[in-house]
Amino acid sequence: MTWTPSPMPSATPNSSPPRIVLGVAGGIAAYKSVELLRRLRDAGYHVAPILTPDATRFVGAVTFSALASEPARTDLFGDATTPIPHTSLGQSADLVVVAPATAHLIARYAMGLADDLLCATLLATRAPVLLCPAMHTEMWEQPSVQENVATLRRRGVLVLEPATGPLAGGDAGTGRMPEPDDIFMLIERIVRGYRGPLSGRHVLISAGGTREPIDPVRVITNRSSGRQGYALAEVAHRLGARVTLVTTVDLPLALDTVRSIDVVAVQTAAELHAAMLQRTDDADCVIMAAAVADFTVEASDEKLKRHLGVPQLDFVATKDVLGDLVARRHPGQVIVGFAAETSDVVAQALAKLRAKGVDLLVVNDVAAPHVGFEHATNEVTLLDRHEVAETVSLRSKAAISLAILTRVASLLSQGAT
Ligand code: CTP
């Protein structure tokens, strides 16, 4: 029989799908692993099944091969193309799941035995390991089994508690393998949280208020503190993105992010324009959180003197950074704009959304209490291209960032516009 991979329905463009090794040990719950495999494949995971020889007494390897991303393996010694499969499978895995994990498998893993492909792969991986035990209640409650489970948990292995319900042979009790949907949701949390929904993405963010010099001493600026832009950068990093932060202010970044975020210091609208346009081609998402001056002046080389009287400042328009970013947008790129309004917020925001051509407009009513400039909290409305509004109620700027970036991740996974 020739093996054909099943289609990959929801793999995101520009990023390889997370790789799961699905280990199956010899228990009756092995049939439920087929359903788990199908759920994982539907969600876009790359799944490589490994069956122990005993598992094949319950479910055939062909069943797994037909649904998986690569043929199911059962043999420690591989074939001509992959002579030592346990190392390649172990090293490339983002997560190793064993479902069901029998008492025998758990004991062999706790002892560090490598006498079949699954146990050898468990020893050859640095990826997180999730065991889903399934056995009769008496076996699960044996001190030997409980001690092996405790040993593995102490070493950082995730061991799911078995469910209570009908067991093989008409018995009932604790020891049932949790339902494939529950295991699937746990895997989603481990893997997507572990890699993050913005994994493999480059997010370019601007922050702070621009500073337009009048003379060597004075500037025209605005009340933007940069805190929302910094929070966006930190949260984007935690969600797995590579982050570039173009900023007019120098705020402290959280310790877990400070070494990873690429910070570009700018002052004026012209500098911010140049810095953003220079980096946009490489970005999957651009977020214009900065408050950019709409007008600037020709700065005097020397300090303006009071005794020379009230100076005449001739304002000239700055470039529209967002407009130029949108004009240069590449396919699939997501562009997010901000709108700070003080009156007639909804109508102003809708007009701005239509004028700017962004994928998402984050609207602030900066006249409201605890909102916008200089506050630690914010309340925003997210307006999408279809003019659908979602209000994100008052919360920390980090929590606001999470709401914005969750929408960004979803737009990116849909291929944006
Ligand atoms: N923006 C920009 N370049 C400018 C001015 C603003 O890229 N020269 C961006 C801001 O970063 C923000 C969005 O445009 O993401 C909206 O900024 P805002 O000041 O609210 O809108 P304006 O277009 O300047 O309109 P107005 O000030 O008249 O409300």
Contacts 24+ apart (CB under 8 A), 353-357: 353/383, 353/385, 353/387, 356/322, 356/323, 356/326, 357/326
Nearest-CA residue for ligand 1 atom 18 is 339
Look up tokens 């600037």; give the residue. 296
Nearest-CA residue for ligand 1 atom 28 is 294
Q: Which of 282, 363, 293 is nearest to 328 (CA)?
A: 282
Nearest-CA residue for ligand 1 atom 8 is 320
Mean pLDDT in the chain?
90
Task: Give distance in angstroms: CA of 365 to centre of ligand 1.
Answer: 14
Contact 73, 51 (CB under 8 A): yes
Q: Which fold is adopted by the domain 19-191?
A: Rossmann fold (3.40.50)
Question: Which tens digit of pLDDT belongs to each residue from 163-190?
Answer: 887 888 888 888 999 888 888 878 887 8
Q: Are strands 202-207 and 389-396 parallel, antiparallel or unpaired?
A: unpaired
Ligand 1 binding pocket includes 296 (Cβ within 6 Å): no
pLDDT band at 373 (very low <50, low <70, confident <90, very high): confident
Q: What is the DSSP letter of 256?
A: T
Task: Give distance in angstroms: CA of 345 to centre of ligand 1.
Answer: 14
Contact 30, 60 (CB under 8 A): no
Ligand 1 binding pocket includes 358 (Cβ within 6 Å): no
Top-level class of domain 202-414? alpha beta
| Fold: same for 19-191 and 202-414 | yes
Ligand 1 binding pocket includes 318 (Cβ within 6 Å): yes
Ligand 1 binding pocket includes 183 (Cβ within 6 Å): no
What per-residue confidence (pLDDT) applies to 194? 66
**For 237-248, what is the mean pLDDT?**
93
Question: Which tens digit of pLDDT belongs to each residue from 384-414?
Answer: 999 999 999 888 888 899 899 999 999 998 8
Question: Which tens digit of pLDDT belongs to each residue from 314-335?
Answer: 999 999 999 999 999 999 999 9
Which residue ranges make up each domain of the chain?
Answer: 19-191, 202-414
Ligand 1 binding pocket includes 152 (Cβ within 6 Å): no
Residue type, 334: V
Q: What is the pTM of this model?
A: 0.63
Q: What is the DSSP letter of 392?
A: E
Catalytic positions are 222
